[in-house]
Chains A and B, each alone.
Chain A
Amino acid sequence: MSAENEMLDFLGLEDKEELFEDIPEMIRTDLDIPEGLSEREVMSEVKGKLDKNKDLDELVSFLGAGIYDHYVPAAVGEIIGQSEFYTSYTPYQAEISQGLLQALFEYQSLIAELTGLGAVNTSMYDHPTALAEAVLMSSRIQRKGGKFLIPENIHWDKDPVLDNYLRGSDIDIEKVSFDDDGKIDRDELRSKLDEDVLGFYVETPNIFGVLERDLDTFKKLKEENDCILVVGSEPMLLSLMRSPADWGADIAIGESQPLGIPPSFGGPTVGIFASHEDYIRKMPGRIIGETEDSEGKRAYCMTLQTREQHIRRERATSNICTNQSLMALASAAYTYVRGGTGIEEIAKENYEKAHDLADRIDDIEGFEAPYFDSEFYNEFTVKVPEDSEKVFEKCSKRDVLPGVALDKKEKFRSLPDLILVAVTEMNTEEEMDVLVETLKEVVA
């Protein structure tokens, strides 16, 4: 007797169909999809489809706008490819999940070092959803609704995500425009800060690649208005830049994709979420804490779970359950494989290459780089002499992707023909030559 028949026999059933007799006939359906394939067939079919893509090895790409193509050392893939890690789930049973718990505690610790804020969760879905959660958390900290100030100079995906997350809340988003330098308009920010304001958001680098300066101003404004300061940043740059905590952030958010995660068509990535230690009970998401076992040995477990949906249900701080843990682990593995000095070196290399390229593009007749005359890191704006779409079209025929068109985005329509160019260590000198030559030729 087959195992299946033995099991049916044990249940006193003759046919598996009897297991479904509780599903009424009137709602029965048939699946209308093709029959299955063998592993060999399916691998060949899917690979055939993927072959229609051109990957970044086949393109000269300066694309960024939130997703960056950094080199991922092979060791990172090996580490997150350990099946004990990737085939496990949320570590509800701490004793048998110490490895993952400790690895995620390492991630939290690394983000704490970079942001200067001690309380870190194991991830949000991405940067935009982390921003939405930060705004909601600000309202919980302040115990009221009100206005939250959001600068215009952030990625266009973030605004609609915020709108959707706040649909049922008593929080109103008020926008703060940017000045001629591409930075948040400080006078406007100042004028909009009043007692109805829950908090405000500052991002550096912002969507123009521009770094905000006089950081102490934000700290002062926050303190004067007794509100929450949320700071968005880029983790690799944070190895060189003053930490968000240093300039008064209560909550620091960002995108950890640059740390060890391939571009992956934009997902999966990791939303960074760190908070001041005073507000840990208001935080969203999973958090790992350090503790001991019954014999006094150091151990780790999920903690402060009474904030979470599986315990607190409708009173939870967020609905998030499944998050991006394995990608957080990739970021931790990447950071340690590179080491502190290694991360700093890559950040410096990115900075220098980007500045070198900006100078070279600026020298081409009709181009202006950076368009916003401000300090930047590895990404900058370029004013192009004709419609950005036309420039892209001509470049992409040669497999050159100069950047992302900013002027085509609804919120930046008022800007001139403007593109956003990102540089990483993956861009060789030869690639930069190709870009400069191509730009020269296409506008000639």
Chain B
Amino acid sequence: MSSEYRQARYDEELLIERGEDKQIENNPLPSDIKREEAAGIPDIPKHEVVRYFNRLSQMNYGIDTGLYPLGSCTMKYNPKFTEQIASNTKASRIHPYQPEDTVQGTLEIMYELQELLAELGGMHSVTLQPAAGAHGEITGLMIAHQYHKDNDEERKEVIIPDTAHGTNPASVSMLGYDLVEIPSKEGCMDLEALKEAAGEKTAAFMITNPNTLGLFEKDACEIAEIIHDAGGLLYYDGANLNAIMGKTDPGAMNFDIMHFNLHKTFSTPHGGGGPGSGPVGVNEELASYLPVPIVEKEGDTYQLDYDLEKSIGRVKGIYGNWLVLLKAYTYIKYEGKDGLEEVTERAVLNSNYLRKKLQPHLDLPYRELRKHEFVMSGKRMKDKGLKTTDLAKRLLDYGFHAPTIYFPQLVDEALMIEPTETETKETLDGFAEAIESIMDEDEEVIGEAPQNTAVRRVDETKAIRDSVLSYKMRD
């Protein structure tokens, strides 16, 4: 197999470079606060601007370009009809402070989405306010914090496994909690170590299941028992929900709080880094702690309810990323029970198929059966004097986005691969052939990759050293 991918390669100067010094005519502001000179924003013919961004887009790779197997990120096909519905002016041109009787459609959709997510997570109530997964995590920890405070308990520790996403420990320390990290045992939670760590200081325990190695934590119930016995709350990171829908749910595992990643599981696009949406679900006991407002239904009318007894207040402005919520709602209605169950089955089948396809070429730590993703080691690259990052860069030449690399940290030279359910067998075979082919290539070819992309290997060290973070900072 040869690499036939060719990305566009334009030399596009920044538009900002075309800014010129000029005065502002007829500036109405009082003289003490008005700008002396205009900000350096150029005037460029509109069609030139469109061409510029169009060329930039040709130097970018999305899920619509090809396979994008970033582990943990669930890069699946984004249905086009959800984009179309979100561009309806009755969705986009509504103001958050319109009277409730003029936004009944929106409130109805939000209410139904709260209900659908509660069912999908096995939770009692849901807030749609958080804007992303990490935002959901910190919201969940704020709820746990308030809960313990109301019970006059000072609990200072949050326990996580060493396989956790980076956002978990970051959320923990952002709220001033002490982090207790448990080393995993054969890729899963070490129950003995957990028993030892859990105690009267434990505020909460956070885990994703299946974990970041793609392994299902089968001791979920025992984990819940240990934490609950210690008086702590259980938080489920919903990043990997794509692997379990219709099979089990966090509520069934006795978890108290969870977040959903609508941009992952429910395929609202990732937008080059966002916007996402990270609704949080809680059990019945915690329902009145949710941020306000939530949407309530009274008779045939939907309304924003600010009156939750123990609410933590707010985690962001207004109501959440409404247009993302709308896309996720539309997706869930489209897939339905049958579709979402199939999503899970296909995602896990694709993952295991690709895992087995790759096993002759890369090393697989821990047991074989994985859920929606798996982690392999690229340590064989070391025999060539190379690293996993070189393998990742060479994959780009074959027209595949690289997997997540160097995470989770407990796997040497990790490659974290999540094919998702929307890829065909042919695409997965192509990816496996690319890996096989690269493993046979000369060191120089791999080490100097990529060559088919808009630029060659990017010097990240220089970027840090120079720290040019805007045109203004360029000397």
A135 nearest CB across to chain B (Å)? 12
Q: How far is the CA of A322 from the CA of B450 in the complex (A)?
A: 26
Q: How far is the CA of A63 from the CA of B93 in the complex (A)?
A: 12
Pick the contact of A52: B105, B119, B350, B426 (CB < 8 A). B105
CB-defined contacts of A304 to chain B, threshold 8 Å: 464, 467
CB-defined contacts of A352 to chain B, threshold 8 Å: 28
Known: A45-B333, A241-B29. A319 touches B138 (CB 8 A): yes
Which one, A92-100, A185-193, A224-232, is touching chain B? A92-100
Which one, A119-127, A358-366, A433-441, is touching chain B? A119-127
A341 located at the interface, meaning its Cβ lies under 8 Å from any Cβ of chain B in the complex = yes
CB-defined contacts of A11 to chain B, threshold 8 Å: 349, 352-353, 356
Q: How far is the CA of A52 from the CA of B302 in the complex (A)?
A: 12
Closest to B158 in A: A314
CB-defined contacts of B218 to chain A, threshold 8 Å: 22-24
Q: Total contacts A to B, CB within 8 angstroms?
A: 638
Enumerate B302-338 residues with CB–CB distance to A below 8 Å: 312-324, 326, 329-330, 332-338
Q: How far is the CA of A85 from the CA of B120 in the complex (A)?
A: 30
B197 nearest CB across to chain A (Å)? 15
Closest to A40 in B: B81
CB-defined contacts of B135 to chain A, threshold 8 Å: 125, 129, 320
A214 located at the interface, meaning its Cβ lies under 8 Å from any Cβ of chain B in the complex = yes
Whether B90 lies near A55 (C-beta < 8 A) is yes
Whether B90 lies near A50 (C-beta < 8 A) is yes
Known: A61-B98, A66-B317, A87-B63. A327 touches B275 (CB 8 A): yes
Whether B39 lies near A239 (C-beta < 8 A) is yes
B12 located at the interface, meaning its Cβ lies under 8 Å from any Cβ of chain A in the complex = yes
A223 nearest CB across to chain B (Å)? 19
Whether A326 lies near B42 (C-beta < 8 A) is no
CB-defined contacts of B392 to chain A, threshold 8 Å: 93
Whether B59 lies near A280 (C-beta < 8 A) is no
Closest to B174 in A: A319
A272 nearest CB across to chain B (Å)? 13
Whether A120 lies near B274 (C-beta < 8 A) is no
B362 located at the interface, meaning its Cβ lies under 8 Å from any Cβ of chain A in the complex = no
Q: How far is the CA of A163 from the CA of B291 in the complex (A)?
A: 12
Enumerate A232-289 residues with CB–CB distance to B below 8 Å: 238-243, 262-269, 277, 280, 286-289
CB-defined contacts of B458 to chain A, threshold 8 Å: 94-95, 291-293, 299-301
B32 nearest CB across to chain A (Å)? 6
Q: How far is the CA of A247 from the CA of B398 in the complex (A)?
A: 51
CB-defined contacts of A8 to chain B, threshold 8 Å: 349
Q: How far is the CA of A85 from the CA of B271 in the complex (A)?
A: 6
Which one, B44-52, B228-236, B279-287, B379-387, is touching chain A? B44-52
| Contact code string B106-118 (vs A, CB < 8 Å = 1, else 0) | 1011000000100
Known: A63-B95, A299-B458, A348-B28. A118 touches B49 (CB 8 A): no
Enumerate B60-102 residues with CB–CB distance to A below 8 Å: 60-65, 68, 70, 73, 75, 78-79, 81, 83-85, 87-99, 101-102
CB-defined contacts of A175 to chain B, threshold 8 Å: none
Q: How far is the CA of A321 from the CA of B321 in the complex (A)?
A: 16
Q: How large is the interface on A (under 10, 10 to 19, 20 to 34, 35 or more residues)?
A: 35 or more
Enumerate A54-97 residues with CB–CB distance to B below 8 Å: 54-57, 59, 61, 63, 65-67, 69, 73, 75, 77-79, 81-97
Enumerate A375-431 residues with CB–CB distance to B below 8 Å: 375, 392, 396, 401, 404
Pick the contact of B396: A96, A329, A375 (CB < 8 A). A96
B331 nearest CB across to chain A (Å)? 9
Q: How far is the CA of A251 from the CA of B264 in the complex (A)?
A: 32
Pick the contact of B35: A73, A83, A241, A396 (CB < 8 A). A241
Known: A26-B221, A85-B272. A99 touches B57 (CB 8 A): yes
Whether A293 lies near B455 (C-beta < 8 A) is yes
- Number of residues in B with C-beta < 8 Å to the partner? 193
CB-defined contacts of A33 to chain B, threshold 8 Å: 116, 119-120, 332, 336-337, 340
A3 located at the interface, meaning its Cβ lies under 8 Å from any Cβ of chain B in the complex = yes
Closest to A285 in B: B273
CB-defined contacts of A87 to chain B, threshold 8 Å: 62-65, 78, 269-270
Known: A20-B348, A61-B98, A293-B459. A266 touches B467 (CB 8 A): no
B213 located at the interface, meaning its Cβ lies under 8 Å from any Cβ of chain A in the complex = no
Which one, A164-172, A176-184, A194-202, is touching chain B? A164-172
Known: A57-B89, A337-B46. A88 touches B60 (CB 8 A): yes
Whether A266 lies near B322 (C-beta < 8 A) is yes
B225 nearest CB across to chain A (Å)? 12
Whether A262 lies near B313 (C-beta < 8 A) is no
Whether B454 lies near A16 (C-beta < 8 A) is no
Whether A351 lies near B28 (C-beta < 8 A) is yes
Known: A31-B341, A94-B458, A319-B138. A294 touches B448 (CB 8 A): yes
B125 located at the interface, meaning its Cβ lies under 8 Å from any Cβ of chain A in the complex = no
A310 nearest CB across to chain B (Å)? 4
CB-defined contacts of A351 to chain B, threshold 8 Å: 28-29
CB-defined contacts of A311 to chain B, threshold 8 Å: 166
Whether A63 lies near B98 (C-beta < 8 A) is yes
Q: How far is the CA of A33 from the CA of B246 in the complex (A)?
A: 10
CB-defined contacts of A289 to chain B, threshold 8 Å: 463-464, 466-469
A51 located at the interface, meaning its Cβ lies under 8 Å from any Cβ of chain B in the complex = yes
B243 nearest CB across to chain A (Å)? 9
Closest to A49 in B: B105
Pick the contact of A267: B63, B322, B426 (CB < 8 A). B322
Known: A86-B272, A157-B314, A327-B275. A241 touches B468 (CB 8 A): no
Q: How far is the CA of A61 from the CA of B85 in the complex (A)?
A: 23
CB-defined contacts of B95 to chain A, threshold 8 Å: 56, 61, 63, 67, 69, 263, 265-266, 401
Pick the contact of A263: B19, B58, B92, B170 (CB < 8 A). B92
A42 located at the interface, meaning its Cβ lies under 8 Å from any Cβ of chain B in the complex = yes
Whether A324 lies near B173 (C-beta < 8 A) is no
Whether B314 lies near A160 (C-beta < 8 A) is yes
Q: How far is the CA of A300 from the CA of B56 in the complex (A)?
A: 12
Whether B349 lies near A100 (C-beta < 8 A) is no
Known: A20-B247, A75-B50. A106 touches B16 (CB 8 A): yes
B103 located at the interface, meaning its Cβ lies under 8 Å from any Cβ of chain A in the complex = yes
Known: A94-B460, A95-B453, A97-B60. A309 touches B167 (CB 8 A): yes
Whether B459 lies near A294 (C-beta < 8 A) is yes
Known: A66-B317, A158-B317. A113 touches B333 (CB 8 A): no
Q: How far is the CA of A67 from the CA of B318 in the complex (A)?
A: 10
Known: A55-B93, A105-B470, A339-B43. A95 touches B334 (CB 8 A): no
Q: How far is the CA of A288 from the CA of B22 in the complex (A)?
A: 28
Q: How far is the CA of A301 from the CA of B116 in the complex (A)?
A: 39
B438 located at the interface, meaning its Cβ lies under 8 Å from any Cβ of chain A in the complex = no
Known: A106-B16, A118-B473, A336-B15. A46 touches B272 (CB 8 A): no
Whether B97 lies near A63 (C-beta < 8 A) is yes
B238 nearest CB across to chain A (Å)? 13
B457 located at the interface, meaning its Cβ lies under 8 Å from any Cβ of chain A in the complex = yes
Whether B62 lies near A240 (C-beta < 8 A) is no
Q: How far is the CA of A297 from the CA of B455 in the complex (A)?
A: 7
A290 located at the interface, meaning its Cβ lies under 8 Å from any Cβ of chain B in the complex = yes
CB-defined contacts of B11 to chain A, threshold 8 Å: 297
Q: How far is the CA of A77 from the CA of B65 in the complex (A)?
A: 20
Q: How far is the CA of A123 from the CA of B404 in the complex (A)?
A: 22
Q: How far is the CA of A123 from the CA of B271 in the complex (A)?
A: 13
Whether B276 lies near A336 (C-beta < 8 A) is no
Query: Could you pull out 24 A-B pairs where Cβ atoms are within 8 angstroms?
Result: A21-B369, A24-B221, A29-B252, A31-B119, A33-B120, A34-B333, A34-B336, A36-B338, A46-B333, A47-B88, A49-B109, A54-B103, A56-B95, A83-B64, A87-B64, A93-B402, A94-B455, A95-B455, A109-B471, A267-B323, A268-B131, A297-B455, A336-B49, A352-B28
Minimum-distance CB pairs A-B, first 9: A168-B176, A36-B336, A266-B318, A326-B271, A160-B313, A340-B41, A99-B60, A87-B62, A325-B273
Excluding A42-B81, A91-B272, A293-B458, 10 further A-B contacts by CB distance (< 8 Å) are A19-B349, A36-B337, A98-B454, A103-B53, A105-B470, A165-B174, A263-B93, A264-B92, A268-B322, A319-B174
